[in-house]
Structure 1
Amino acid sequence: MNEVIKPWRRVGDFHGRATRKEYWSAMIQLTLIFVLFVVFFVAADETLPSPVVMFVMGMLMLVFLVVAAVVGTSVGIRRIHDFDVTGWLVLTFYIPYLGWIAMIIIGCIPGTPSQNRWGADPRGGPALQQVFS
């Protein structure tokens, strides 16, 4: 449950590291919320084809897209930091068509197993390995 809430607690936190689990949790949540918005948007358009309803739905979608951009960028930067690369690589997310590929690749690369320049290993790293060895 912590991995579900963690990306939302760290909204706007562009420092530190994020595990693959935290990254994928955020990306899946954002995708599901977007799909729900689209479904509600289409349903509202078919049941109440009013310009006022469409305007309100459009504004809600715009607010969601801004929040999603901040959440996705912050978790993406922390994920990139996990494998010891500069967070500016997150700009590849915003390249049309190639951004999805970049998101998948960044979500699959394993992090450095010990401390790097952006902080300690979020999975516990060597300290955890010493406990179980």
Structure 2
Amino acid sequence: MTAYINAMGRYLDFSGRSTRSQFWYYHLVLLGFAAIGIIIDAVVSGGQPLVSALIIIAHYIPSLAITVRRLHDADMSGWLVLLCLVPAIGVIAFTVYGCLASTGPNRFGQSAHGVSRSTGATPAADSQPQAASNIERIEKLASLHASGAISDDEFQRMKSEILTVGTR
């Protein structure tokens, strides 16, 4: 339910990233709401899709937004969400997007994996010491910077975030 609340709180946010679990848990809750809406429609309005239609309409933009953020998490353009609107291909595209692996830091920001929501620090249960982890993260940033995936400003900002988190 947390993923659903988070997605609804970011109703019009098409920037940033969303993990696979956020994506799938949001859509699982939405599926539950739609099923309840269909049941209510069958009982109250004789099968006319009134409640279920309102549920789907209210969730259309957040669904697009979380799909765009999911694409960003896989370091892909959010415009690929338009493939979900194509009949037949849309279901396949939606499923593939939900299954794509997350990348490390990319042009859309820091990965949501391995970062605590409350403090922004990596968990203490890392398999490597914090300093070694930060060095690896900076090396990955440097390779993204060298390939042109992130700008000089983005590289400096992300590097300072890594170094700031490491000193807490």
Short-chain TM bin: 0.7 to 0.9
The 1:70–1:120 alpha-carbon spacing in structure 2 relative to 1, beyond 3 Å, is: same
Structure 1 portions without partners, runs of 5+: none
Look up the SS of the partner of 1:132 in the other structure.
coil
Alignment length, in residue pairs? 122
Instruction: Tell me the equivalent position of 1:132.
Output: 127
Give, in angstroms, the shift of residue 128 of structure 1. 5.5
Seq. identity, %? 26
Aligned residue type for 1:132: S
1:108 aligned onto 2:108: no
If asked which structure has higher relative contact order (CA below 8 Å, sep 6+), I would say 1
Give the aligned partner of residue 26 of structure 1: 26
2:88 corresponds to? 97
Mapped pair 1:3 → 2:38: no
Structure 2 residue aligned with 1:15: 15
Instruction: Please report the RMSD computed on the Cα atoms of aligned residues, expressed in angstroms.
Output: 2.3
Select the structure of larger CA radius of gyration: 2
Instruction: Give the Cα–Cα distance (whole angstroms) in 2 for the partners of residues 128 and 117 of structure 1.
Output: 23
In structure 2, relative to structure 1, the CA distance for the partners of 1:88 and 1:129 (3 Å cut) is farther
> Following TM superposition, by how much is the alpha carbon of 1:80 offset from its aligned partner in structure 2, in angstroms?
0.2
Residues 84-119 of structure 1: per-residue CA shift (max 9 Å, x gap): 11100111111122211111111111011x211111
Q: Which amino acid aligns with 1:120?
A: Q
Aligned-partner Cα distance in 1 for 2:78–2:124: 27
Alignment-mate amino acid for residue 6 of structure 1: N
Aligned to 2:161: none
Aligned residue for 2:111? Answer: 121
TM-score w.r.t. the length of structure 2 is 0.64
Greater displacement, 8-17 / 91-100: 91-100
Q: Equivalents in 1 of 2:22, 2:91: separation in Å?
A: 18
TM-score by length of 1: 0.79
Which has the larger share of helix? 1
Which letter does structure 1 place at the counterpart of 2:38? V
